Structure 1
Amino acid sequence: MLLAADVGNTNVVFALFEGREIKARWRIATDPRRTGDEYAVWLLQLAKLQGFRREDIDQIIIGSVVPRAIHNLTVLAEKYFGITPLVAGQGETAYRFELDIEQPSSLGADRALNTLAAHEKYEGDLIVVDFGTATTFDAVDFNGAYKGGIIAPGINLSLDALVGNTAKLPRIAIEKPASESVIGRNTEDQMLIGVFWGYVALIEGLIERMKREIGRPARVVATGGLALLFNEHTDLFDAVDSDLTLEGLAILAEQVR
């Protein structure tokens, strides 16, 4: 079985694959200081509770946008599983699609993995929207080449900035406003309207501009934690694929088996 670790700025998601099927997943807050030993105590316990043994795992791959986390995850793989892990984008797992941008080495592993998985799963030109700590918009052409994209503050990051830099605004949960009106009658409603519908307007506007620039029909694929929320209340996306980044890791690992 394959153990894949998707290291984001906020969380690390571990997934156990049998082929392309995810059999289990576990999530922990990203902390570059967390040691390989600490990962092992947590991960092996959870795996055991779900009936998996460390001997079941014969391949490990890491995709990380936090470079400092890679060392400790490598320690986890080598010390507790006896496996030298693959690292997405490095060595034999170098990306085999064109990175048609000015600084290919600067592209985050998550966006490269989304590109790989989206092209394999969906046809034609694509726009991949990933709702993470930042919200990214990536253009993938019909040949699978990565053509560039957009980085915007994530919705939680925007809310944190709003609450953290004002004296009286309260912390609110991100959800669709109860009323269809965009004129709020109290502070909490006004904040929720601004955050939710303001973010929908940002997504709509950027997708429309990207489609015009691409100049051909492009499918919009959404991934990340808040993709389902926005999909329930808008018609922005042609597909929602919550496991796109993890599937990219599985595809990359298959290429070197």
Structure 2
Amino acid sequence: MRLLLDLGNTRLKWALREGAGWHAQGAVGWNEDVVLALHDVWRHLPVPSDVFGASVVDAGREAQVAAVVSACFGHDTEWLRTPAEACGVRNAYPEPGRLGVDRFLAMVAAHADDPVSCVLAGVGTALTLDALTADGRHLGGLIAPGPQLMQQSLLGATSRVQVERPGQVLEAADNTPDAVASGCWQAAAALIERFVSHMSSPLGGAPLLILGGGDAEALLPLLTPPARLSSDSVLRGLAVWSDAHSPLAPAL
């Protein structure tokens, strides 16, 4: 068994992998007592053979999680830092480590699942977009605020834009809460559609659109191009990567 860790901006997701599937999995938000929550759940798990992590958070939180891993299982955590190339995916960044490891692993997961030209949209705190060719070449991407962060930024930077309730997403709103929600969510959808349109030619035709992240399901109905939801893409990509770097690991 192998413990896989995905330290995202909003929460930590983990999975205990056995063979080609999950023996157990869970998540804990950074607004919770992470140490206590992980101790509570991990003390009931079998001891993994090794532990791999992917992180987009600060070194302090990485160290905090690694200490819990050590206390519960007696293992060090091997943190993956974004490489120039791995598992058939070639990073477009001239400084490979500047690309978020979550974005790289999402591409690894997509390429392992189905090696076709695709656009990957991560819809969470940030909205990330990446174009990937069928032969695993990363063509680059974009980063913008996610729809919820857009709303928070707008409300925090203005004095007269105030909302007293969560808004609904409409084509045209006649009140401020709905106007804010509609503008931010439609802006996210429009950016995704524009990126897909502009990258279609470099990708050799209409690419497969893959949505991941905590707000992917909510954004899906707003998109015109057909799209596929992808869950646990960072953990699945980390599973592929850890298999490739451990001769004792089972093949996917």
2:52 matches 1:61 = yes
Aligned counterparts of 1:46 and 1:62: Cα–Cα separation in 2: 18
SS of the aligned residue for 1:212 comes to coil
* Matched residue type, 1:41: L
Number of the residue aligned with 1:170: 163
Taking the TM superposition and a 5 Å limit, the aligned residue runs for 1:1-257 are 1-30=1-30, 39-47=34-42, 52-53=44-45, 55-68=46-59, 69-89=61-81, 95-96=86-87, 97-168=89-160, 169-170=162-163, 172-173=165-166, 176-177=169-170, 182-255=171-244, 256=246, 257=249
After alignment, is 134-143 or 188-197 more displaced? 188-197
Cα distance change, pair 174–65 in 1 and its aligned pair in 2 (3 A): farther
Aligned residues: 242
Cα distance change, pair 174–23 in 1 and its aligned pair in 2 (3 A): farther
Structure 2: gaps (5+ residues): none
TM-score by length of 1: 0.83
Q: Following TM superposition, by how much is the alpha carbon of 1:103 offset from its aligned partner in structure 2, in angstroms?
A: 1.7
Cα distance change, pair 156–81 in 1 and its aligned pair in 2 (3 A): same
Cα distance change, pair 115–233 in 1 and its aligned pair in 2 (3 A): same
User: Are 1:12 and 1:27, in contact at CA under 8 Å, matched by a contact in 2?
Assistant: yes
Q: Following TM superposition, by how much is the alpha carbon of 1:172 offset from its aligned partner in structure 2, in angstroms?
A: 4.7
* Matched residue type, 1:198: A
Cα distance change, pair 158–171 in 1 and its aligned pair in 2 (3 A): farther
SS of the aligned residue for 1:101 comes to coil
Q: Over the residues paired in the alignment, what is the CA RMSD in angstroms?
A: 2.5
Aligned counterparts of 1:234 and 1:90: Cα–Cα separation in 2: 30
Offset from partner CA, 1:228-255 (integer Å, 9 cap, x none): 1122343434311121111111112222
SS of the aligned residue for 2:139 comes to strand
After alignment, is 112-121 or 191-200 more displaced? 191-200
TM-score by length of 2: 0.85
Aligned counterparts of 1:235 and 1:199: Cα–Cα separation in 2: 12
SS of the aligned residue for 1:128 comes to strand
User: Are 2:106 and 2:234, in contact at CA under 8 Å, matched by a contact in 1?
Assistant: yes
Q: Following TM superposition, by how much is the alpha carbon of 1:193 offset from its aligned partner in structure 2, in angstroms?
A: 2.2
Q: Following TM superposition, by how much is the alpha carbon of 1:47 offset from its aligned partner in structure 2, in angstroms?
A: 4.2
Q: Following TM superposition, by how much is the alpha carbon of 1:198 offset from its aligned partner in structure 2, in angstroms?
A: 2.8
After alignment, is 101-110 or 11-20 more displaced? 11-20
Offset from partner CA, 1:121-174 (integer Å, 9 cap, x none): 023211111112111111111112322111111111100111111224116536
User: Are 2:15 and 2:24, in contact at CA under 8 Å, matched by a contact in 1?
Assistant: yes
Aligned counterparts of 1:202 and 1:189: Cα–Cα separation in 2: 20
User: Are 1:7 and 1:30, in contact at CA under 8 Å, matched by a contact in 2?
Assistant: no
After alignment, is 196-205 or 22-31 more displaced? 22-31
Q: Following TM superposition, by how much is the alpha carbon of 1:22 offset from its aligned partner in structure 2, in angstroms?
A: 2.7
* Matched residue type, 2:209: V
